[in-house]
Structure 1
């Protein structure tokens, strides 16, 4: 595993400790161009076709319209409905284009925490595979060069686990951002995210998908200031009876 040079700036904001109530978004940062929020699990970013469900997009747009009645949020990346954590929105089309056109350059780190089934095979590692989506929206690994497949790279390290423990708490850092990347790759090595029945999880210890976007570091597209936002790992991820090397898991 190759370790990239860390370029972490002091956190601009950190969400309050604990787990956000269902449907409650925490606003972490706002300027004339950007809004950063802490998304709760169970809240979709945008509504599925034909659905009128409340979305994070609606919440952010309503927030903007308090000061600008014509304002509308712009989605530049997504988290799955049942994934919680830090998410970035653009406030206008100009900023959205700047972010989308330079995403890989501007976004320096995207880190997640997952509670996965079983004990991971080593302390650290890299998941490097090719992913493809079927007609049902399921993502799975395939052979390199398969038509329509995209390469996905995820670096990981164990935060807490114990020999024989039913779960490992794992930190994951994305080098690519594919749909369901973490969920599909972990499932492929036999360690699905707890609560992720869609990708083969057999347990649901927290009554939710145990995946959380805990850190987002990026360069502001116009001011070029490096901004870092963190959200604490939900306490429910630690509620296992098995002690890990860094305390209770």
Structure 2
């Protein structure tokens, strides 16, 4: 099956034609397809030094503006399971991110990202700002800011490691009892994780493990567990999973911190039914 993939860049020379019409004329795509792409974050508008996604079809253009379309039908057709709000703290909230939902968009779209989902579906409706990231294949708790002040303050806690967070993973093999600390570098940068066995399932030869990380490197938990010989179930990148394997068994389960807005201690734990389970 082939999918349309088009990149288009236009310099605006007249204010008499809107963005949808310009892009349709240039690409041959229907206006309806352009509008859908616009809603899903595939159209960008540059005004001076500022480049932002353009979502309003009727936004007035100025001579000298630049329009960019990154159209990939396969990307635009992607759909994900909805996220679920679990805790609402007003200026920020905590959501369950399902498998497949992204933490960050690309030039091709942002319609499958958690912050875009929250912006469109949060009740009452509020702005949504990404505070931290979680792998596309991972699941679990994510903090979303609703004001710039809250976002900045909570993001600072992540940067300074001034909060406690735990993950749960299911790994292949019988993980050792007690707490195991792993300090293998990730991407040539120092990284430290602490892993503790919760339960061993002998029939499957799999272990449920709690992991606390002291650093936040990309794929840190997956790389550290694999480095010990206990790859995460469902890990197709660092483990031994294939297309028939279950989804990645890595879940963000717990946050504890002193709220920078109220200065009270906050504890947020993922409900049991959303935590990883043996299959």
TM-score (norm 1): 0.71
What is the count of residue pairs matched by the alignment? 199
The partner residue of 1:125 within 177, 180, 188 is 180
Contact 1:194–1:205 (8 Å) recurs in 2: no
Partner SS for 1:27: strand
Partner SS for 2:155: helix
Shift of 1:43: 1.4
Correspondence 1:144-183 to 2 at 5 A: 149-161=188-200, 166-183=205-222
Q: Which runs of 5+ in 1 are unaligned?
A: 1-21, 133-148, 240-249
Shift of 1:162: 5.3
Question: Is 1:218 matched with 2:276?
Answer: no
The partner residue of 1:96 within 148, 151, 171 is 151
Shift of 1:194: 0.5
The partner residue of 2:101 within 43, 56, 81 is 43
Q: 1:67 to 1:210 in 2, by over 3 A?
A: closer
Question: Is 1:32 matched with 2:74?
Answer: no
Measured on the aligned residues, the alpha-carbon RMSD in Å equals 2.5
CA distance in 1, matches of 2:121, 2:161: 25
CA distance in 1, matches of 2:105, 2:124: 24
Q: Which runs of 5+ in 2 are unaligned?
A: 1-79
Q: 1:75 to 1:122 in 2, by over 3 A?
A: same
Q: Greater RCO between the two (CA within 8 Å, min separation 6)?
A: 1
Aligned to 2:51: none
Moved >6 Å (runs of 4+):
203-206
Question: Is 1:197 matched with 2:236?
Answer: yes
Partner SS for 2:267: strand
CA distance in 1, matches of 2:152, 2:267: 21
Contact 2:253–2:275 (8 Å) recurs in 1: no
Aligned to 1:138: none
C-alpha distance after superposition, 1:165-209 (max 9, x if no partner): 521111111122221110111111221111101112246786200
Aligned to 2:278: 238
Partner SS for 2:154: helix
Question: Is 1:56 matched with 2:96?
Answer: no
Partner SS for 1:125: strand
Q: 1:126 to 1:52 in 2, by over 3 A?
A: same
TM-score (norm 2): 0.64
Partner SS for 1:131: coil
